[in-house]
Amino acid sequence: MIDRSKGSSNMSEAEPGRTRGVYGISVAADLVGTGVQNLRAYEARGLLSPVRTAGGTRRYSADDLDRLRRICDLLDAGLNLAGIAMVMQLQDENHQLREQTTPPHQ
């Protein structure tokens, strides 16, 4: 099926390479080389937070795709979904903290 409501030949739109690059779940699954069912399992474990459209379809941004890649790498490293979830949480906390406060460097 591949529901792509976006991407209607809209060149006039600004093109932020991150956070707004939307992909269908099938495209994201193909990109990471896994099935759509696995992507849902990752989201259920809190490894990802894809934007949900009004239709209920998931929209995977480039950032989410990068996160998926990290998941695959950590999974190959021998970690389970729970361990990856912790890594993701800590990484997200660190990212937010870095943007909020001034880096304690010098």
Partner DNA sequence: CTTCTGACA
Partner DNA sequence: TGTCAGGA
Position 11 contacts DNA (CB under 7 A) = no
Q: Which amino acid is at 19?
A: T
Return the ∠ at Cα 12 (arms to 53 and 16), rounded to 5°: 60
Contact call for residues 46 and 62 (beta carbons, < 8 A):
no
Position 81 contacts DNA (CB under 7 A) = yes
Q: Which is nearer to DNA, 82 or 90 (CB)?
A: 82
- Out of 25, 48, 68, 88, which residue is the one contacting DNA (CB under 7 A)? 25
Q: Let me know how long the chain is.
A: 106
Position 49 contacts DNA (CB under 7 A) = no
- Out of 6, 36, 46, 49, which residue is the one contacting DNA (CB under 7 A)? 36
Position 77 contacts DNA (CB under 7 A) = no
Q: Could you tell me which residues come within 8 angstroms of residue 60 by beta carbon, excluding any fewer than 6 positions away?
A: 22, 23, 24, 25, 27, 28, 39, 48, 50, 68
Position 56 contacts DNA (CB under 7 A) = yes
Contact call for residues 24 and 3 (beta carbons, < 8 A):
yes
Closest approach of DNA to the CB of residue 2, in Å: 4
Query: What is the binding site for DNA (CB under 7 A)?
Result: 1-3, 24-26, 34-38, 40-42, 45, 56-58, 75, 80-82
